[in-house]
Structure 1
C-alpha cells in the first residue's frame, strides 16, 4: 500500500499527467535557463533540474543550487545521495523552495557519483534505496518522491534485478518511477559510453508496466522523435526524453502540448520562442549574467531548418563577448 505521505499532492493537481512527457535531468544542461526555454515550448511537460547532491545542500550549504524561475512549474528537483538522514534534510529544503517533486538518482554512472556511493551503484543495494526514499518521504510532506533508475548494472541480470527493485520501491511507497532502459557499466565504460553502448531493452520495461500496473512508469533512453514518444505512450504511463530534448528542443517540445496533452492552444513558432526570451535575457544580463549562459541552450532550436548553421555560428562566436545582448540573438535569427 502506498505511503500517504507520497501521494500526488504537489502544487500541480495533475502532476502524474505532466509526467506523460518529461525532460531528463542532465548535468551542465538542464539548468534554470534551459528549463525556462523549454517551458516556453510546452506548458505541460515535467521539467527536471540537474542533479544536486544532498551533501552539497546539507553539509555545504549550497542553497543557491535550488534557485529556479517560478515560470518553470511543474518542475522537479533530482537529488543524489545515499544517506537517508541527509536525503531527508535535503528533501525538506527542496520542498521549502516549492519544488513539485523530489527525485532520487539511481541511474548516473559517473566516477564522481560512484565515489559518493550513489547513482547507478545503488541498483546493487535496493534495500538502502528503500530506506532512502522512506526518509525522503518524511521530509517531503505532501510532495511526491520519485526514483529514476537503470535496468541493472554490470553483470546483474535485469530480468531479476529490475522487478525486485520495483517491488521494493512499491513497498516503500513510491508510486512513480522512471526507468532508463539500459544497463550501466560502472567499470569499463565512460558516462558518455553508458548513454549509447549498453543495448536498450524496451521490452523489459514494457513488461514491468504489465507486472506493476498500479505504478506510474516512464521509459527513458534513446527517444529521438515525437513519433517514438507517441508510440511508447501506448505501452507506458510516461516518456522521459534526454539529449534529443536538448539538441532538438523544438522537435520534441514544440508541439508536445497538442500531441501528448491534448491542449488545443496554438504553439509558438521557433522564431516566436526566440523573441519570447528577450525579457528573460534582458533581466539576466541586467543582473550581471552573460548572454552565452542562456544562448548555449538555444543553439539547437533551428536544428534541421534553413539557417540553422548561421544561427549556431553567430551565437557561438558572439554571445560570450563583452556587451553582447539580445540584439545579437535577433541578428542570428534565420531569415
Structure 2
C-alpha cells in the first residue's frame, strides 16, 4: 500500500452526494443547520461537464461554504477535461465516484463498476490530480458483485472480501488520493435498485475499521447507515471521518447537532427550527423569482420536525398538492402560527 500522508484537513462529518437530493437548494438549507460539515454535489458525469451547460451544472453560491464536487468518469481523458473545467468554480475538493450501483452508470463502466478495473481507477485519479491543485478523493464500496453487468467480461466480477479490497487499494493508493470514503457495503450491480443497494447488502464496518487499523496513515472516512450522534461518535474513534446519507433528509435537524462532535467547532448552540425557516425564506423568495422550482426549494424542509409534536400537520402544509408559488409565504406564516412555540424556538 502506497504510504502517502495527505496534508488536507479532513472533515469530521460530510453530507453524502445523493441523486435528486444533494442539489444546491438542499446544500444551502443544510448549511443553515451545520457550519462545519463538508457538503457534496450530486454525482455529475464528466461528459456532462465537458458538453453540457457548465454554469447550470457547476454553479453554487458562496453561502454553501465548503462543497466537494463528485464526478463519474469512465476514462482518464474525460476526467482530466472535466476537472480542468471545474477549476473555474470554488469547490473545496474533487471526488471520484466508484460507489454508485445504478445501471445508468455501471453499464458505462462508471461508479461502482469501476472497481472491477483498478488500473483504470488509478489512471483516472492520476489524471484528476494532474488537472487540479485541489484535493482529489475517492468514494468506493468495500466490494462489488458485478455478475452479468459488463458484456466484455465473460466471468463473474466479484470482490467481496478483505483481501480483494486490499488488492484494489494497493493499486489505487499509488495515485495518492487525499481521502478514501468507503461505503461499508458491497454493491450489487445487477438485480438491485440503488435504493435496495443502500439497504439489502449487509453493512460491514469492521472491514473498514480493520483497514484503518492496519494502514493508519490512510485518510479514511466511513459511510453507510449512520443516523444518530452516538453511532457517529463511536465511528469517529476508529476512522478519520463519517459521511451521513439518508439521515440528512429523513431527520434533517440532526445536522444541527453535529457541532458537538467537533472539538474545534465555532458553533456554541444549535439553531432552532424556527430560526432555520426564517433564514431560509429570503433564499426561497430570491430563487423563486429566478425561476427555481418551488417543490425543489421546499423539499429540504420536509423532515425538519421529524418526531416532534405537530409534525403531521407540518408535513400536510408542505405537501406537494398544497404547495404553490402563490401561497408559499402564507404557508410559512401558518407554520409559525400552528407549530408549538417550544418546538419552533427552543434548541432541542
TM-score when normalising by structure 2: 0.89
Q: Tell me which structure has the larger Cα radius of gyration.
A: 2
1:3 shift after superposition: 7.8
Please state whether the residue corresponding to 1:302 is helix, strand or coil.
Answer: coil
2:77 counterpart residue number: 85
Q: After superposition, where does 1:39-188 map in structure 2 within 5 Å?
A: 39-141=31-133, 143-154=134-145, 155-188=158-191
Residues 1:38 and 2:30 are matched in the alignment: yes
1:89 shift after superposition: 1.1
Looking at structure 1, the residues matched to 206 and 3 of structure 2 have their Cα atoms a distance apart, in angstroms, of: 26
C-alpha distance after superposition, 1:249-280 (max 9, x if no partner): 112x1111133344342220112111110111
Residues 1:331 and 2:343 are matched in the alignment: no
Q: After superposition, where does 1:289-328 map in structure 2 within 5 Å?
A: 289-317=292-320, 320-328=323-331
Q: After superposition, where does 1:257-268 map in structure 2 within 5 Å?
A: 257-263=259-265, 264-268=267-271
2:273 counterpart residue number: 270
Looking at structure 1, the residues matched to 286 and 37 of structure 2 have their Cα atoms a distance apart, in angstroms, of: 25
Please state whether the residue corresponding to 1:123 is helix, strand or coil.
Answer: helix
1:11 counterpart residue number: none
Please state whether the residue corresponding to 2:87 is helix, strand or coil.
Answer: helix
TM-score when normalising by structure 1: 0.92
Please state whether the residue corresponding to 1:117 is helix, strand or coil.
Answer: coil
Residues 1:223 and 2:226 are matched in the alignment: yes
Q: After superposition, where does 1:219-258 map in structure 2 within 5 Å?
A: 219-251=222-254, 253-258=255-260
Looking at structure 1, the residues matched to 272 and 95 of structure 2 have their Cα atoms a distance apart, in angstroms, of: 32
List gaps (5 residues or longer) in structure 1: 9-13
1:198 shift after superposition: 0.5
Looking at structure 1, the residues matched to 169 and 128 of structure 2 have their Cα atoms a distance apart, in angstroms, of: 17
Please state whether the residue corresponding to 2:17 is helix, strand or coil.
Answer: coil
Looking at structure 2, the residues matched to 69 and 130 of structure 1 have their Cα atoms a distance apart, in angstroms, of: 32
Please state whether the residue corresponding to 2:14 is helix, strand or coil.
Answer: strand
Q: After superposition, where does 1:9-20 map in structure 2 within 5 Å?
A: 14=9, 16=10, 19-20=11-12
Please state whether the residue corresponding to 1:267 is helix, strand or coil.
Answer: coil
- Are 2:294 and 2:325, in contact at CA under 8 Å, matched by a contact in 1? no
Q: After superposition, where does 1:280-295 map in structure 2 within 5 Å?
A: 280-295=283-298
C-alpha distance after superposition, 1:185-231 (max 9, x if no partner): 11121211111111111000000101221111011001111111101
List gaps (5 residues or longer) in structure 2: 146-157, 341-348
